[in-house]
A and B are shown apart, each in its own frame.
Chain A
Amino acid sequence: MEGKKKTQEAERTSDRPSVTGDAPMTRGESRGKAKARLRVAKAYKMYVGGAFVRSESGRYFQVESAKGHADADADVVNVPRGSRKDVRDAVLAAKNALGGWEKRTPFNRGQILYRLAEVMESRRAELVESIARAGGALEDAEREVEAAIDRAVYYAGWADKVSGVVASHNPVSGPHFGFSLPEPMGVVCVLAPERPSLLGLLSTTLPVITGGNTCVALASAEDPRTAIVFSECLATSDLPGGVLNVLTGHADELAPVMAKHREVIAIDAWLVDADLRAKVQAEGADNVKRVKVRVPMDPDSWLDERRGQGLSWIERHLETKTVWHPMGV
């Protein structure tokens, strides 16, 4: 009897509207009005060694969102401004990841890149929104994201075919076999073009890692947030930490540091500033880096399947090893 009474009491209590808020309100009111909620804005961070980090320097630079953006960000947000030492840390992370990545079978690297495409597909809306809030038209953003996902699939397909196409069995004058085989170079730095912010970053970095290199990329300074959303795709794909590191900051500060770093074996720089291009070439001479400096293509060319992708993009960051082997042994 006692027990039953208690249950009834409990039921009645639960029927009552909550009075724990600031002002007592009736049920009808609490249902009708949308409850004011503090939205959670994201702290944008760089992606280094599989972790999201702030700049060791504690510096930030600011980017603005287009008017009427729907996300939780403020109109102006802080993005880490990477420093010389962030480059150092990222190169170290890439160096440490190199052994594991180049030893994976090319087939497995392809699987991982395909997984990246899967993850991007499921985050497609977020990527589109991110590009659009940095000032692009929505249709253009959609087109760019679609092209980017297709490009990830494209390089996923190439991963286990590069060697078959590029390697050769050389005719030699003697009782020997001569083979030339492609091998990854090491840690490659990429200075991505400003636009398109997603497709440009993806088109320059994916061929590098497809070939078995590891990569440190500096994202577009005009739209660094999209690169960070892309990094979140990387983090949730099966890509091992450190294989692709994404820094944010200013190219004029970081490009010479990357070019001068002796652990960096190649640099692929898409730079508008001619002085900076010259500086990258000069600094890169010290350890005879493979330096490629280029004026960025126009945005439509990046979308073009013939100009924006290809086997040559992978080959650019491969070394050739030639071995001679006696016949008949």
Chain B
Amino acid sequence: MSTEQNGSGLSLFRAGSGGGRGPSAYALFNPPPVDKVAVEERAAALATRSIKKAAKVAGLKLAVSMMDLTTLEGKDTPGKVRQLCQKAMRPLDSDPSIGPCAAICVYPNLVPVAKATLAGSTVKVASVATAFPSGQSPLSIKLDDTRRAVELGADEIDMVIDRGAMLTGDYAKVFDEIAATKEACGAAHLKVILETGELGSYDVVRRASDLAIAAGADFIKTSTGKIQPAATLPVTLVMLEAIRDYYYASGRRIGMKPAGGVRTAKQSLQYLVLLRETLGDAWLTPDLFRFGASALLNDVLMQLEKERTGAYQASEDFSKD
């Protein structure tokens, strides 16, 4: 093995491109074990921080600008996607200072609709690909899926990893598929969904995070939203720490996207605290942090209106995307 050249963690990542194939190529790919109790304690401790008044408003506005408004259902129609795009561009009629959101996340067939509706705005179009949500299809189909989505106009691709391969220890397959998908993306940004709810332990999450980052991910993302549990604070912390360690080793900033399960304004602030405390101010931007959500936006808008008017809001007063 010629991969342990400079003693830094960086050399480990080169193993993937070194010609070797199969699990043995990753013998040195050895992420640190995750202390379950410490991670959960730290996430819980940071979640108790109280954020009020001006800081709360600033945090919630930032959260809106980081949101990937998502609709990934079999019943999605062009009409619904257009509606969602309008909401992403101007989340609250009465207040233009809120938003726009970061992106719209849809299935590939609806990318052209979103693209056309969002023309001229800063809102990006993200598309899921690679046989979302299971990822259980041959690689050629996944790559086709990805290329088509990019051709249709997607700025960002949200891919899923093959969790079956991850759990059986076939890390090479996982790595290669991510790398191949990255290549198929071309200029489009790649977000890699680990589906942490299916990975079983924080150690596997950490390993999958390191793998995805090494294979070329621009973002790592917790979940598809189709599996419970989806995003949680501890699992996000584990992934943020993988990003931090990679940044120390390489100087490159990888983005993070918790998705699924973030429903309330309070939760979104807890994630921002976790982000700020783990990675610092540089990550407090939509370029490096996103929320994958649909129900979250309305709750954040209700809280912002509550701060402005002093009255608790009624859910009926906010459009159901």
Contacts and interface: CB of A to CB of B under 8 A. Distances in A.
Binding partners A and B:
yes
Interface of A: 88, 91, 95, 257, 260-263, 286-287
B313 interface: yes
B281 interface: no
B93 interface: no
A266 to B, nearest CB: 13
A263 B310 contact: no
B119 interface: no
Nearest to B310: A260
Contacts of A257: 312
21 contacts: A88-B312, A91-B312, A95-B315, A257-B312, A260-B310, A260-B311, A260-B312, A261-B311, A261-B312, A262-B311, A262-B312, A262-B313, A262-B314, A262-B317, A263-B312, A263-B313, A263-B314, A263-B315, A286-B311, A287-B311, A287-B314
B254 to A, nearest CB: 37
Contacts of A91: 312
A260 B310 CA distance: 9
Most interface-central of B310, B311, B315 (chain A CB within 10 A): B311
Most interface-central of B312, B314, B315 (chain A CB within 10 A): B312
The 7 tightest CB contacts between A and B, nearest first, are A262-B314, A263-B314, A261-B312, A260-B311, A262-B313, A262-B311, A88-B312
Contacts of A260: 310-312
Contacts of B310: 260
Contacts of B314: 262-263, 287
B52 to A, nearest CB: 12
Interface string B302-313: 000000001111
Nearest to B311: A260
A260 B309 CA distance: 10
Contacts of B312: 88, 91, 257, 260-263
A91 B315 CA distance: 12
Interface of B is mostly: loop
A88 B315 CA distance: 13
B305 to A, nearest CB: 9
A179 B310 CA distance: 40
Interface in B281-321: 310-315, 317
Nearest to A265: B314
A70 B312 CA distance: 43
A261 B302 CA distance: 12
A260 B317 CA distance: 15
Nearest to A263: B314
A95 B310 CA distance: 20
B314 to A, nearest CB: 4
B307 to A, nearest CB: 13
A286 B309 CA distance: 11
Contacts of B317: 262
Given A286-B311, A287-B314, 14 more contacts: A88-B312, A95-B315, A260-B310, A260-B311, A260-B312, A261-B311, A261-B312, A262-B311, A262-B312, A262-B317, A263-B312, A263-B314, A263-B315, A287-B311
Most interface-central of A91, A262, A286 (chain B CB within 10 A): A262
Nearest to B317: A262
Most interface-central of A88, A257, A263, A286 (chain B CB within 10 A): A263
A263 B305 CA distance: 13
Contacts of A286: 311
Contacts of B313: 262-263
B256 to A, nearest CB: 29
Interface in B34-53: none
A218 to B, nearest CB: 16
Contacts of A95: 315
B244 to A, nearest CB: 34
A161 B31 CA distance: 68
B300 to A, nearest CB: 16
A88 B265 CA distance: 14
Nearest to A95: B315
B318 to A, nearest CB: 11
A262 B314 CA distance: 5
A216 to B, nearest CB: 12
A286 B314 CA distance: 12
Interface string B21-38: 000000000000000000
Contacts of A287: 311, 314
A40 to B, nearest CB: 31
A263 B313 CA distance: 6
Nearest to A187: B314
A276 to B, nearest CB: 18
A257 B312 CA distance: 9
B312 to A, nearest CB: 4
A263 B317 CA distance: 9
B101 to A, nearest CB: 24
A289 B139 CA distance: 59
Contacts of B311: 260-262, 286-287
A53 B297 CA distance: 29
B200 to A, nearest CB: 32
Contacts of A261: 311-312
A280 to B, nearest CB: 14
A263 B299 CA distance: 13
A111 to B, nearest CB: 30
A213 B317 CA distance: 19
A95 B317 CA distance: 14
A289 to B, nearest CB: 11
B89 to A, nearest CB: 25
Nearest to B312: A261
A97 to B, nearest CB: 14
A261 B310 CA distance: 9
